Amino acid sequence: MRVAIVGGGINGVMSAWALRRRGHEVALFERGVLMGATSAASSKLLHGGLRYLEQGDVRQVYEGLHERRWWMQRAPMLTRRVELFLPLYSHAPHGRLALAAGLTAYDLLAGRARLGRHGWWSRGRMPERASGLKPDGLRGAFSYWDAQMDDAALGRWAADRARDDGVVIHENTDVLQIARDGELRTTHDASRFDVIVNVAGPWARALLDASGIASHTQLDLVRGSHLVVNRAIEAGFALNLPSDGRLVFALPHHGRTLVGTTEVRQTLDEPIACSVAEREYLLDAYNTFFVNGIGEADIETTFAGVRPLVDSGKSAHAQRRGETIEVEGRVVSVFGGKWTTSRLLGERVAATVGRLKESS
């Protein structure tokens, strides 16, 4: 079948690649450059997402942990294991037992894909790489293992593999409209496809609206910002904020520290950029935990992205991260999804297109 993919983020690329491997003729249209939006503005973690266990989303965690291994095995030069410390203070929202249970489950769900066993370090025994935490009320810290990636480079690596296998990629090509019968109109021309896969991330619903195609799915657009600050750290930290119970990461990042992220609802008309309030929030989060505080002058750069979360009527923090796939005529739309699990998302898109082929 002739398949068009709209969107050159990681989900578009992995969908295109999966479809091509199943023998379809695939063209991908990206209005900017590949990995130019959300997929290069992530926290750069390949992970199961410890906090999704709290929401009972065991499947999301299981898939993330196993997909993490897939990326690490395929692209070791763009991925690496990272140790994270989760400090436990007397004011923490979760007790030691609850955290130990969560981390044990995290290790067990990873099975053979586990990168290392979690551990507990009492305050007097904390290793040098976990130093710098404020001592007041500190009981100790858990350590656990996840992985970091260079999201933009890893996404381009995947796009190169897809291109090598025969996916045709058109950058700087805005898709203006799509139709249920497979017609796709770009800034350059119009053509007809057997299937169109709308995987435009935060813009997926807007493209349907502009095309007059109905959808049951509402997207909850939630901006997340990061600071890059001029501190070198060896290990990462998962910081459970006492003020709102959110988890903020401080991660090693090219000899600097990446601090993120935030959750701010936004519309597509607003600029996707870190606001003054978010800068303050992240500086405060860091300074709540570390003795050597940081200020505005320590921020080297900031970046932001918009999570396309499938709206279930919950708070931004509690919305599930999994994807929803919707079919309307010859248009397959994909909403949501995580970077880590984009390969699985691509497989599911290819299976959906396969079913369309059988029924046509």
Ligand X SMILES: Cc1cc2nc3c(=O)[nH]c(=O)nc-3n(C[C@H](O)[C@H](O)[C@H](O)COP(=O)(O)OP(=O)(O)OC[C@H]3O[C@@H](n4cnc5c(N)ncnc54)[C@H](O)[C@@H]3O)c2cc1C
- The residue ranges that bind ligand X (CB under 6 A) are 6-12, 29-32, 36-39, 41-45, 174-175, 199-203, 207, 224, 261, 305-307, 337-340
Q: How far is the CB of 81 from ligand X (least distance, A)?
A: 15
CB of 303 to ligand X, least distance (A): 9
- Looking at the Cβ atoms of 126 and 250, the one nearer to ligand X is 250
Residue 261, preceding bond cis, omega within 30 degrees? Answer: yes
Measured distance CA(81)–CA(177) in Å, rounded: 42
Looking at beta carbons only, is 45 or 259 nearer to ligand X? 45
What is the DSSP secondary structure assignment for residue 311, as one 8-state letter? Answer: P
Least distance CB 38 / ligand X (angstroms): 3
106 token code pair: 């995290």
Spell out the SS3 assignment of 76-136.
HHHEEEEEEEEEEECCCCCCHHHHHHHHHHHHHHHHHHCCCCCEEEEHHHCCHHHCCECCC
Q: Is the dihedral of CA 304, 309, 311, 317 positive or negative?
A: negative
Structure token pair of residue 14:
């992995």
Residue with Cβ nearer ligand X (126 or 342):
342
Residues with Cβ < 8 Å from 90, sequence gap 6 or more? 137, 139
Closest chain position to ligand X (CB): 9
Nearer to ligand X by Cβ, of 125 and 317: the residue is 317
CB of 355 to ligand X, least distance (A): 21
CA distance 357 to 193: 12
At closest approach, how far in Å is the CB of 70 from ligand X? 12
Distance in Å, CB of 261 to ligand X, minimum: 4
**3-state secondary structure labels for all residues of 169-201:** EECCCCEEEECCCCEEEECCCEEECCEEEECCH
Helix (H) or strand (E) holding 334: strand 331-336
Min. distance of Cβ 26 from ligand X in angstroms?
Answer: 15
- Closer residue to ligand X, CB minimum distance, 174 or 284: 174
Nearer to ligand X, 30 or 326 (CB): 30
Q: Which residues contact 300 (CB under 8 A, 6 or more apart)?
A: 228, 229, 230, 256
Distance in angstroms (rounded) separating the CA atoms of residues 162 and 159: 5
d(CA 140, CA 153): 36
- Minimum gap (Å) between residue 213 Cβ and ligand X: 13
Backbone angles phi, psi at 28, to 5 degrees: -110, 135
Comparison of 287 and 324: residue with beta carbon closer to ligand X: 324
d(CA 33, CA 203): 15
Which is nearer to ligand X, 154 or 294 (by Cβ)? Answer: 154
We find the least distance from the C-beta atom of residue 34 to ligand X, in angstroms, to be: 7
Pick between residue 10 and residue 235 the one whose CB is nearest to ligand X.
10
Place of tokens 């009527």: 313
Give the shortest CB-335-to-ligand X separation in angstroms.
Answer: 9
- Residue 308's contacts (CB-CB under 8 Å, 6 or more residues apart) are 38, 201, 202, 204, 219, 221, 335, 336, 337
Compare residues 89 and 339 and give the one whose CB is closer to ligand X: 339
